[in-house]
Amino acid sequence: MKEGSSIINTTSVNAYKGNAKLLDYTATKGAIVAFTRGLALQLVEKGIRVNGIAPGPIWTPLIPASFTEEECANFGKQVPMKRAGQPIEVAPSYVFLASCPESSYITGQVIHPNGRLSFYIAKLLIIRYC
């Protein structure tokens, strides 16, 4: 990869809070957080940034495949916005890290679009600067 490149890994809120039902998923997502931070340190001198995105409850095919009908009906209601997010609501975080000049000083970090403010902050940054 050339200088100025950006690597963005996808992890999960479960890496930080745990999930007894999705233990293998949670463990691998936690490993991705550590990998992201280590790789960022390894590649910083080459001018390559490495960051991650750790979405909160996002409605994906994993949800109905993993949860009961009742769990699906309640999925996402535990966050302040009282709903699960959609993939389109996570996308601005990737755009910001991948292509905005204002993200050039960010490496080894994980953005958390999780039904609170981080999505809106990323979206505002994209609208303003990209």
Selecting among 25, 105, 120, 129, the annotated active-site residue is 25
DSSP string, 70-98: HHHHHTTTTSTTSS-B-HHHHHHHHHHHH
Which amino acid, one-letter code, is at 119? F
What's the helix, strand, coil split of the chain in %, to 5? Answer: 50, 10, 40
Decide if 16 is catalytic.
no
Catalytic site residues?
Answer: 25
